Structure 1
Amino acid sequence: MSWEHELFALFDDLEGRAAALWEADREAELADRARAEYAAVTLASRLMASRGAEVALDLPHVGRVEGRLGRVGEGWCLLAGRGQDWIVPVHHVVAVHGASARSVPEVAWSPVDRISLRAALRRLSESGLRCVLHLADGSWHAGTVGRVAGDFLECRPDVEPGSAADDAGAPVLVPYAGLVAVQSRED
């Protein structure tokens, strides 16, 4: 073998090693990018991709609620269960089962999908449906949603016939921060 062939063989070897090092570095960079991009995925974006699917939500003091994920909004979701609907503030969800592996980034949401929890509660108020408000401390209030304010709602409790309490029927103010779920009730 001539010195030219040896020199070209050496250059080919060096070039192969450089390509292998570049490929290893590129794979590490792609893995870092994938981790960084996934860090931008939110629970709401995963729930948005799961609309229409059967999911289960674990909620504190309520337990597991199952149903079809009907709507996802800004900080809340609507779960249609067996004979009842659940409006759930996402920040109280402990775990989600059955969610899509995909996500829909919030920039791709339509304006209708951006409605707030307050707007959903206003709709519930306008409907006059009876519901149960499940609270973060484990307590609950049964009644109808009255007026919906900036950071709380009024719950008009169900009044038992013949109730003698002075405050019977007086609205209960429920801050959104303490609201775990709103469950519709069948009469």
Structure 2
Amino acid sequence: MPIYAPRMRWDQLFDDLEAQLQAQERRELDSEVADRTRRERAAVELGARFAAALGAPLRLHLAAGPVLGGALLDIGEDWLLLRGDTGRDSVVPFAAIVGVTGLAARSAQARTARRFGLGYALRGLSRDRTTVAVTDRGGQVVTGTIDVVGADFLDLAEHAVGESRRASNVTGRRTVPFAAVVSVESR
């Protein structure tokens, strides 16, 4: 029996050293995985997060105006389209969003997003002669029809909702820089 006692101590020592080595390797692997995850998350853009949330209910906290809630219908290069709780659709530039509630942690490839920018989306509303409500960064809401969409601005023929865009109904003409647009809601 005395012959086995020293052998048992060596086995315990080697088992302990093996366990320490495995624990160290596990800590290194965990650290590497955490580092890689942080690097991958750092490369994710907001548009990819929105692309993964198509159809989901979101609440957009905007630079001006009330919180806009509804289902995410579409996403573009620098804008999104939200079907509001009121049933109206709103084009919202990313730059006007100061926070989002309800956005999942996952992301999707950018190919799920429209490749065109805000100007192109607004040109569609202009072409269709849709009456819109434009909210600016100052919180002011102006209704009318988009007459012109430039490279970085829109011209709005101001008129009341429910009236057509006729010269007799137009009360003014407003130029709004894209940088000042918070949302463009179809009426």
Question: How far has the Cα of 1:24 moved from its partner?
Answer: 0.8
Aligned-partner residue type, residue 65 of structure 1: L
Asked if structure 1 preserves the Cα contact closer than 8 Å seen for 2:159 and 2:171, the reply is yes
Normalising to structure 1: TM-score of the pair? 0.82
- The equivalent position to 2:95 in structure 1, one of 91, 103, 122, is 91
Within 2, Cα distance between the matches of 1:38 and 1:29? 14
Asked if structure 1 preserves the Cα contact closer than 8 Å seen for 2:81 and 2:89, the reply is yes
Asked if structure 2 preserves the Cα contact closer than 8 Å seen for 1:79 and 1:87, the reply is yes
Asked if structure 1 preserves the Cα contact closer than 8 Å seen for 2:159 and 2:172, the reply is no
Q: Give the aligned partner of residue 79 of structure 2.
A: 76
Q: Give the aligned partner of residue 49 of structure 1.
A: 52
Question: How far has the Cα of 1:43 moved from its partner?
Answer: 2.2
Aligned-partner residue type, residue 116 of structure 2: I
Q: Give the aligned partner of residue 174 of structure 2.
A: 172
- The number of equivalent residue pairs is 176
Q: Point out where structure 2 has 5 or more consecutive residues left out of the alignment.
A: 164-169
Q: Give the aligned partner of residue 156 of structure 1.
A: 157
Aligned with 2:135: secondary structure? strand
Question: How far has the Cα of 1:62 moved from its partner?
Answer: 1.3
Within 2, Cα distance between the matches of 1:151 and 1:61? 19
Query: In terms of mean alpha carbon deviation, does 75-84 or 12-21 score higher?
Result: 12-21
Matches within 5 A, 1:4-43: 10-43=13-46
Asked if structure 1 preserves the Cα contact closer than 8 Å seen for 2:133 and 2:184, the reply is yes
Aligned with 2:67: secondary structure? strand
* Cα deviations by residue, 1:13-35 (Å, 9 ceiling, x for unpaired): 43332221111111122112212
Matched, 1:102 2:103: no
Q: Give the aligned partner of residue 131 of structure 1.
A: 132
Aligned-partner residue type, residue 65 of structure 2: V
Aligned with 2:40: secondary structure? helix
Within 1, Cα distance between the matches of 2:116 and 2:81? 12
Question: How far has the Cα of 1:144 moved from its partner?
Answer: 0.7
Asked if structure 1 preserves the Cα contact closer than 8 Å seen for 2:95 and 2:179, the reply is no
Question: How far has the Cα of 1:183 moved from its partner?
Answer: 1.1
Q: Point out where structure 1 has 5 or more consecutive residues left out of the alignment.
A: 162-167
Same amino acid, percent of matched pairs: 35
Question: How far has the Cα of 1:101 moved from its partner?
Answer: 3.2
